[in-house]
Every structure is written in C-alpha cells, then in structure tokens.
Structure 1
Amino acid sequence: MHMDDMDELRAWLIALRTPGLGPGGLRERLDAAEGDIGRTLTQLRRHAAQLGESAQAWLAQPDEALLATDLAWLAEPGHRLLRCTEADFPPQLENIPQPPAVLFVVGDASQLLYPQVAIVGARGASAGGLAHARAFARSLVGAGFVITSGMADGIDGAAHAATMDAGAATLAVIGTGPDRVYPRKHHALATRIAARGALISEFPPGTAARADHFPRRNRIISGLSLGTLVIEAGLRSGSLITARLAAEQGREVFALPGSIHNPLARGCHRLIRDGARLVESAAEIIETLAPAARMLGAELNARLQLDTDGAKALQGVGDGVANGSCSTSAWCPDPEYRRLLAELGHEPATMDELVRRTGLSAAALSSMLLMLELEARVESLPGNRYQQLPGGSMNG
C-alpha cells in the first residue's frame, strides 16, 4: 500500500513525537524497515510497550490537534520536513554519532549541501572578536563556503550578518522549534536568514528553548560543517562543546589565539593545547578544507547520478560540483569565479587591474585567487601578479 504525501508526513510526525524514541531509535527502526515510515510506525505500535507508558499512550491515540498544527506549519511556503530517507538530506550528517532523523527547514534546503564552515564563539564577545567574526565570514564566503552558526548573540550573530551583507547565504541551526526565535531580539536576523539561506531545527514546531537542546543543536552545527572556527570562548563556553563534537566527528577545529589577559581567549587557548589548529587568517582554513570540499562535491555528484528523484533537488550543486569541468564544490557554481577567470585571460594581471576589471574588492579577490591557486587554475607571480594556467578556464 503506497501512502500519499499527507499520510506519510503524518506518520513521520507521529514517530518524531513519540516519547522516549529519539533520533537514534527512530533511525534504527527506519533501517530495519528499509526506510519505509509506514512500516516503521506499524512496528513502533506493535512494540510500544518497550518504549514505556507515555509512548504507548501516544502511539495508541496521538494528539490530533498537535499533529494538525505541525501539518499546518509544514504547508506554509518555504517550510519543509527534510527526512533522512530523502536524496537531498545532507550526506555529511550521516557520518556523525546520533545523526538527526529529520530537519525542519525554513528557507532553501539545498544550501545544506554546500561545503560549510561553522563560526562560533562567545555571546558576550569583545568588539575585536566581533570584527574577527565578520572578517573571517567575508573571506570564507569569498572562497565559496556557506557559513553555519547557531544564531546566538555575539559571534554567531556577527558571522550570520556579515555573510548576508556580503551577498551570500548563511545557515542557522536553532535549539527551539522552527517557529520560535531565540534570543527574541534576533527576529529580524531570523527573517533575513530564512530569506537568504535557511533556519534549521530538529525540534518540532512549538518547542521552547531548553538548556539541554543547545548541546544537541551544536552536534548538527559541527556535523554539517567541514570545519568549526572558534573565535572567542571562555572556559565554560558552549562553543567548546561544539568544538569537542566537531573533533569527535572527525572534523577540523580551528581556534583564534588572543591575549593572555583576555578571559575570552582562554577557551581558544585550551582548544589549541588540545590539538585544534591555531589560525591567523581565513586563507589557512580555506587551504585546509579545500580537499574535503572537493570530496563532498564528488559524493553529492555520485548521489545525483544514482538517485533520479533527488536529481532536481541537487541540480544546482551537482552542476557545479564535479562535472569534469569543475572539480571543487566550494566555488564552482559561483558566477563571480567565472567572471574572474574570464577577466584574467592568459596574460599576467596585477591585483589592482583585477579589482578594476571585476569590480570586486581586493579582499574578496585574494581569497578567490587562493582557491583557484589550490585548484591549479591560477598561479601567482612575483609583483602581486596572477596568471591563468593552461586548462584553467571554466568553459564546459
């Protein structure tokens, strides 16, 4: 029996809201049922006693008003329940401990597939810390990375805002339901993020902010990202949890050193002592993560070929990621890179000439040129000049 879309969504929502099940339990049962949510729900009902009385009561008689509210939220434009059984569920989340079973998304879910860098740090950041967050966000965006963070006060908010000011998309993973904004003062920021990128939550609509939700949220921030940059953090900072999770997930952790007199540098210094990479410039992060970005691109491309249902959702990524003419997912779809290579031609050009020809800032151009250099498409010459290498154009 094939379920229609509404029945299927309803089945997912019942399973998600089953007390005591959690993402791990749901994924385990989904695997046993070969990804079929209808069969999963039947099995859950059959063995409800194992999950305890509240699960038994819920599965026997779910709260219809609550499900109706969830379905009404999902029916709104730009709202989506992204399920782990779908082709465009981010593959980088499959490799983390306790991966989420679903994500509630407001905005453009395809942004979750691009190579991401998480920027996190103190809520009560210093003016210098906020300036670093903005500068690193701008440079990383120039190299084609999507910036992911947690929409908290301080470093998170600065990184999100700077990314959007640079005309790029940003992702916010939140610790409440997708219909709530925390902190409240970030309402305008949340609206902007949803319009430019996406708000993401594993918690269903109506879920309020709770202290234990934030560490759970942090594993998704680090899990989506190829690397996590910690800019300022005290010794008891939530950012250190994100960094620890990133390290456990096998991802890169970068930390910005600071003054020994600044209490907000202590968390970063501890991370560096524990093996995080000390970084002073975005170029170091870009260089470290470029191979991982390429691998993610190749993985998405393979998935695109295998799954025709997912092809449409992944089209933009698949086109730019690894289709022979373009080997790295980090910048390929970006028309600015194409323009830069077209303007560069095959004669050496200075940075000033490139600024004049492309209309881009020197900061944006230097990170783009670095990315192209890593890809062996451009070489830097003495005198701050750049030259395209043979085979370095992007036609194709």
Structure 2
Amino acid sequence: MDTRAPHTTELTDAERIDWLRLIRSDNVGPRTFRSLIRHFGSARAALERLPDLARRGGASKPQRIYSEPDARTELEACAKLGVRLIATGEAGYPPRLSELDDAPPLLGVRGTVDVLMRPMIAIVGSRNASGAGLKFAAVLARDLSDAGFVIASGLARGIDQAAHRASIEGGTVAVLAGGHDKIYPPEHTDLLHAILSHGGAISEMPLGYVARAHDFPRRNRLVSGASLGVIVVEAALRSGSLITARLANEQGREVFAVPGSPLDPRAAGTNGLIKQGATLITEASDVIQAVEPIMGRPIALREEDDEPLAPDPAATDRAGIVNLLGPAPILLDDLIRMSGASPAVVRTVLLELELAGRLERHGGGLVSLI
C-alpha cells in the first residue's frame, strides 16, 4: 500500500463498507481517518481499536461507531439517487483534491465522472453580486469552458450560479455543503439537474445532511482543492469567498482576483486580495497563461508523517502533552518541542484526544483543546 494515500486502487465492497463506517463514526475526520489507516493497516482493524483509543483520550461517554447495517443502508440510498461513494485514488475522484491532507476518504459523486478528472478552475464571489459582476463571471466561465477547463463552484446565489450556468455545456462541477438530497439554496435544484447532464456534483456529507453555517468553509476547501486555481470575481471584506481564497493559498493553488471600483463594497475584498499578491485578471487568457505551466506537471502527492503512532504513551507523557494544550491553538511542532516527547507519542495522544471529542484541529498544523 502506498503510504502517501490510503488507497490507490478500487475498493472491494467490504472495504467500502468499512471505510464508510470509519469516516462516519464519531470524531473521525479525514486526517484522523488517514492516521488510523496507516497505523492499523485497514479500516476494519481501526474500527476495532476505536473504543480503546477514545477511552485513553478521556472520552466521557462511549463513542458512537457507525454500524454495518447503517453503512449498507446509506450505500443503497446513494445508489437509488445515482450517487457513488468514491475513494481517494479511484477513478472519478478529482486528482488534485486527492492531494489535500484533509481530502475526504469517500466522496459522494453524481453526474458525469469523466468531468471530475479534467482540469478545473474555480469561480467564486458575492451572493449579492452586481450586474457587472454576474456578467463578467459568466464571460470568464464561458471562455474558460471553451478552452477546455471545467468550472467548479459552490452552487450558491450570485457569482457561483452565474459561473455554473455559463459553463453547463462544457462541464461544470457543483460542490455541495450538504447531502446530495439537501440542495442549498433550494431554488437551485433545477440548476443542479441541468449541471448533471454534462457535469457533476460532489459532497462529503451523508444523505439527509442539511448544511449549516460552519459547513460552508468545509465545502470551500473542496472547491479550491479540486482546482488548479480560484478566481474571485466580487467579494466584500467579510465574504466567504475570501475564505476560499485563503484556503487556496494554503493548498498551493493559484489565486486570481478581478479588480473593481473602490466605491463598491463588493469589490473591497477582491481589491484587497490584489494588494496581498493575488494575480489581477481582466480576461480568461490571464488565467490560462498562469495555469498552463503547471498543468503538465505530475501531481505531487501529499507527504505523510514518517513517524508511526506509539503503541501506548506513558501516563506522564500524556499528562504533559494535555497540560500544554488549551483553547488557544498551538503548532504541532511546538507541542513536540515543548513536551520533550517523541513525534509518535505526541501524534498518538492527539489522536486519542480527537477520538474522545476533546481536540480541535485548525489549518496550518494548529491544534487546540476543546
């Protein structure tokens, strides 16, 4: 097995059920999932160890582990809706998305799978967009689509929907914040159906899940992560589109911004991005020239931690690491240095705390105690 990705070939039916059970169990996120798979060798082995790991992390109540009947029921419901749960490395999983440290182990995919394997450019922006912004987003999307790029966006009102509508024929991908059966906003259900005729939709959330405010940044990391670059057309200073731009920077993606009038608050965010180093664009060719040099490069798979997990950290090490943690985020490297424990011990204690629901992971390798 390639340690840089949990799996690189087709899962068996039994493996897919085990993967689904593991990622749907309490306090198991994408990073934790990968750590468990690497350490225990399989999802089934990891599932057997979850209760003990959570107990060692100080869980206040028994951890909920997703049952096999529930996993089978979810897979059957997905099949009825035309959704496939695709693992990282399998055909249909966007290649650049699989690079992310927090790439979803299983991605719910609907529509034309081939589109998801093509180079993508994300277009995002204000929900309360100006007429000029909507028109320019559509022009960019159409021109980039004509040049062979797939347009990715979040199916939101405003700039997102304008980009989707202009690129339906060439292929566009809607990244959903909720489950495939809980479309937000509801009035874009017909737009999604039109998208699926030539493009696709992806979500990491289970069927029946209704998106909440904190789910949209999670969705945004998939929009940027699946793409070569992100274009921000309009964004106010506190826009969610700026979160997408920040995530794109962290993921090593190109960030493009369309300049706007200093008098329009909907351009304040994009003008700010340009000041911070984003590439100013006024036409699709600006984007194409920037991404062409990197399109032919092989995808650099994410680097995994070389250190394995520790079998069972000593009580003194565990207490020392927990004592260093608090509500303020701290870098993993600083935690290792200050604790004096080995990287393997620190990572193991953090994994135990996370499974117990006591740890929160932030971007940039930061962790904090809940």
- The two structures have a TM-score, normalised by structure 2, of 0.73
Report 1:226-245 matches (<5 A). 226-245=228-247
C-alpha offsets along residues 54-87 of structure 1, whole Å, 9 cap, x if unaligned? 884422x7384x4354122232363110112535
Instruction: Give the structure 1 partner of residue 225 of structure 2.
Output: 223
Amino acid at match of 1:30: I
Q: Distance in 2 between matches of 1:9 and 1:220?
A: 21
Q: Distance in 2 between matches of 1:175 and 1:286?
A: 28
**Alignment equivalent of 1:111, drawn from 88, 111, 115:** 115
SS in 2 for 1:295: coil
**Alignment equivalent of 1:12, drawn from 19, 32, 44:** 19
Q: How far did 1:173 drift? A: 0.8
Report 1:161-180 matches (<5 A). 161-164=165-168, 167-180=169-182
Q: Distance in 2 between matches of 1:78 and 1:174?
A: 15
Q: Distance in 2 between matches of 1:52 and 1:79?
A: 37
SS in 1 for 2:167: helix
Residues 87/106 of structure 1: CA separation in 2 closer, same or farther (3 Å cut): closer
Amino acid at match of 1:132: F
Residues 87/169 of structure 1: CA separation in 2 closer, same or farther (3 Å cut): closer
Q: How far did 1:92 drift? A: 1.3
Question: Percent identity between the aligned chains?
Answer: 43
Q: Distance in 2 between matches of 1:246 and 1:157?
A: 20
Higher RCO, 1 or 2 (CA under 8 Å, sep at least 6)? 2
**Is the CA contact (8 Å cut-off) linking 1:121 and 1:239 kept in structure 2?**
yes
Residues 75/242 of structure 1: CA separation in 2 closer, same or farther (3 Å cut): same
Q: Distance in 2 between matches of 1:23 and 1:115?
A: 24
Pairing 1:29–2:33 present: no
SS in 2 for 1:250: coil
Q: Distance in 2 between matches of 1:178 and 1:52?
A: 35
C-alpha offsets along residues 9-38 of structure 1, whole Å, 9 cap, x if unaligned? 32222112111111110111122244x333
Q: Distance in 2 between matches of 1:206 and 1:7?
A: 23
Residues 54/132 of structure 1: CA separation in 2 closer, same or farther (3 Å cut): farther
SS in 2 for 1:265: helix
Report 1:1-396 matches (<5 A). 5-34=12-41, 36-45=42-51, 47-50=53-56, 53=59, 56-59=62-65, 62=67, 64=69, 66-76=70-80, 78-86=82-90, 88-164=92-168, 167-296=169-298
- The two structures have a TM-score, normalised by structure 1, of 0.68
Amino acid at match of 2:88: C
SS in 1 for 2:90: coil
SS in 1 for 2:20: helix
Q: Distance in 1 between matches of 2:141 and 2:236?
A: 21
**Is the CA contact (8 Å cut-off) linking 1:115 and 1:146 kept in structure 2?**
yes
C-alpha offsets along residues 158-211 of structure 1, whole Å, 9 cap, x if unaligned? 1001001xx211001111012210001001011112222111111111111111
Q: Distance in 1 between matches of 2:255 and 2:177?
A: 22
Per mean C-alpha deviation after superposition, the further-off stretch among 73-82 and 135-144 is 73-82
Q: Distance in 2 between matches of 1:183 and 1:55?
A: 36
**Is the CA contact (8 Å cut-off) linking 1:177 and 1:207 kept in structure 2?**
yes
Q: Distance in 2 between matches of 1:105 and 1:45?
A: 31
Q: Distance in 2 between matches of 1:76 and 1:51?
A: 39
Q: How far did 1:107 drift? A: 1.3
Q: Distance in 1 between matches of 2:170 and 2:100?
A: 27
SS in 2 for 1:290: helix
Q: Distance in 1 between matches of 2:146 and 2:136?
A: 15
**Is the CA contact (8 Å cut-off) linking 2:179 and 2:209 kept in structure 1?**
yes
Q: Distance in 2 between matches of 1:82 and 1:54?
A: 33
Q: Distance in 2 between matches of 1:51 and 1:81?
A: 30
Q: How far did 1:108 drift? A: 2.2
Residues 252/45 of structure 1: CA separation in 2 closer, same or farther (3 Å cut): same
Amino acid at match of 1:173: V
Aligned length: 292
After TM superposition, which residue ranges in structure 1, 4 or more long, deviate above 4 angstroms?
A: 50-55
Alpha carbon RMSD of aligned pairs, Å?
Answer: 2.4
Q: Distance in 2 between matches of 1:45 and 1:184?
A: 39
Q: Distance in 2 between matches of 1:63 and 1:41?
A: 11
Amino acid at match of 1:174: L
Q: Distance in 1 between matches of 2:138 and 2:213?
A: 27
**Is the CA contact (8 Å cut-off) linking 2:99 and 2:300 kept in structure 1?**
no
Residues 54/99 of structure 1: CA separation in 2 closer, same or farther (3 Å cut): farther
**Is the CA contact (8 Å cut-off) linking 1:48 and 1:55 kept in structure 2?**
no
Q: Distance in 1 between matches of 2:216 and 2:185?
A: 12
Which has the larger Rg? 1
Instruction: Give the structure 2 partner of residue 341 of structure 1.
Output: none
Amino acid at match of 2:170: A
**Is the CA contact (8 Å cut-off) linking 1:107 and 1:197 kept in structure 2?**
yes
Structure 1 unaligned regions, length at least 5: 301-396
SS in 1 for 2:99: coil
SS in 2 for 1:42: helix
